[in-house]
Amino acid sequence: MGHRVRKAVFPVGGLGTRFLPATKSMPKEMLTVVDKPLIQYAVEEAAAAGCEHFIFVTARGKGALEDHFDAAPELERQLEEKHKDEALDAVRKYLPKTGQISYTRQTNPIGLGHAVWCARHLVGDEPFAVLLPDDMILADVPCLAQMAEVYAKTGGHLVASENVPREHTSRYGILDVETDDGTLAKAKGLVEKPKPEVAPSTLSIIGRYILDPVVFQPLDKQMRGAGNEIQLTDALAATLDRVPFHGLRFVGKRYDCGDKVGFLEANVAFALKRPEMAAQVRAAIGALLA
C-alpha cells in the first residue's frame, strides 16, 4: 500500500456552543471568513493536497453543510439568466463531483476519536487525512499539502504541530518528544490536554492529521479519556509501538476559529490577503484604530 492520501475526514458534528446564538440554527462550520464558510476552506485544502473523497461526520441540525456541497439549480439558473458569471463561478467551482462526498452521522457527541471512528467503514484500510475546520491555516502552500509531501517519507501518523505558550497546554494534544530537528519532531508519547505543570512539552497538535488506519483498532474499544470523551490523541498514543508518529511544524499562520477573537483575527488576515479588498480593509482598520 502506497502513502498516497486519497480520503479526508471532516468531523463536523460539534455543537458550536462558543458561538451561540449564531450557531443556534446554523452549523458552526458554516461561519464565514470573508465570503466562504470554514468548511469550504477545509475541503479546498484537502483537495489541494490530492484528496479525492471527502467524508463528513455530521450530526442533527447540520443539513446546511450538505446543501452547501450540492448543486443549487434554481439559484444557478437565475444567475445564468442574469449573466452573473462571477457569482455563478463562486457557487460552482468548489463543488466536488457527484460521489466524491459521503456523509455519516455521529449520533452522540462523545469525542473527536469517536467522530473519526464513525468514518471507519468509509475510510477502510488506507491512510487518511483528518481536518478540523475550526483551525484555519494561512499559508502559501496549504498545510495539508505540506504534510502530504512529508508523509510520503514518514508514513505512520503525521500531525500539524506548533509550539504553544505553556499556560495553554490544557487546550491541546501535546507531544512527548523523542527527537526533534526543529521542523519534524518524533513523539514517544502523547497526552490530551495536560495541565501546564505536567505537560511533556509545549509542542501541540493542530487540527490537521494524516493517519494510518491502525488508529481504528484502539478506537474500537471506545475508552474514555480527558473530559470523559473518546479522544483521538489517546488512540494515537496507543499505536505508537506499531507506527511512527511525527509532528510537523508547518510553514504558515494558524487561526483558532473556535474562539471569537481568533475568528475575527482570521477574517481580517484572510481579507488582507485578498488583492481586490486588501487596501480598503487596511484603510478601514486604520480608521477604526485611529
Residues that bind ligand G1P (CB under 6 A): 112, 132, 135, 172-173, 192, 204-207, 231-233
Half-sphere exposure of 247 (CA within 13 A, CB side): 28
Position with the least CB separation from ligand G1P: 173
**How far is Cα of residue 98 from the mean position of the Cα atoms in its chain?**
22
Smallest gap from residue 194 Cβ to ligand G1P (A)? 10
Helix (H) or strand (E) holding 37: strand 36-37
CA distance 70 to 282: 35
Q: Which is nearer to ligand G1P, 232 or 266 (CB)?
A: 232
Q: Which is nearer to ligand G1P, 13 or 37 (CB)?
A: 13
Q: Which is nearer to ligand G1P, 112 or 219 (CB)?
A: 112
Q: Which is nearer to ligand G1P, 56 or 172 (CB)?
A: 172
Smallest gap from residue 12 Cβ to ligand G1P (A)? 12
The amino acid present at 172, given as its one-letter code, is Y
| SS3 label, residue 58 | strand
> How is residue 122 written as a grid cell?
468509509
Smallest gap from residue 161 Cβ to ligand G1P (A)? 9
Instruction: Check residue 165 and give left, alpha or beta (phi > 0: left; psi -120 to 50: alpha).
Output: beta
DSSP state of 195: -
Q: Which is nearer to ligand G1P, 30 or 79 (CB)?
A: 30
Half-sphere exposure of 246 (CA within 13 A, CB side): 21
Smallest gap from residue 131 Cβ to ligand G1P (A)? 11
CA distance 158 to 153: 11
Q: Which is nearer to ligand G1P, 201 or 204 (CB)?
A: 204
For residue 131, which of 205, 68, 78 has the smallest C-alpha distance?
205
CA distance 83 to 184: 50
Smallest gap from residue 130 Cβ to ligand G1P (A)? 10
Smallest gap from residue 64 Cβ to ligand G1P (A)? 21
Q: How far is the CA of 84 from the CAs of 36, 44, 63, 87, in angstroms? A: 18, 23, 27, 6
Q: Which is nearer to ligand G1P, 47 or 206 (CB)?
A: 206
Smallest gap from residue 284 Cβ to ligand G1P (A)? 30
CA distance 242 to 246: 13
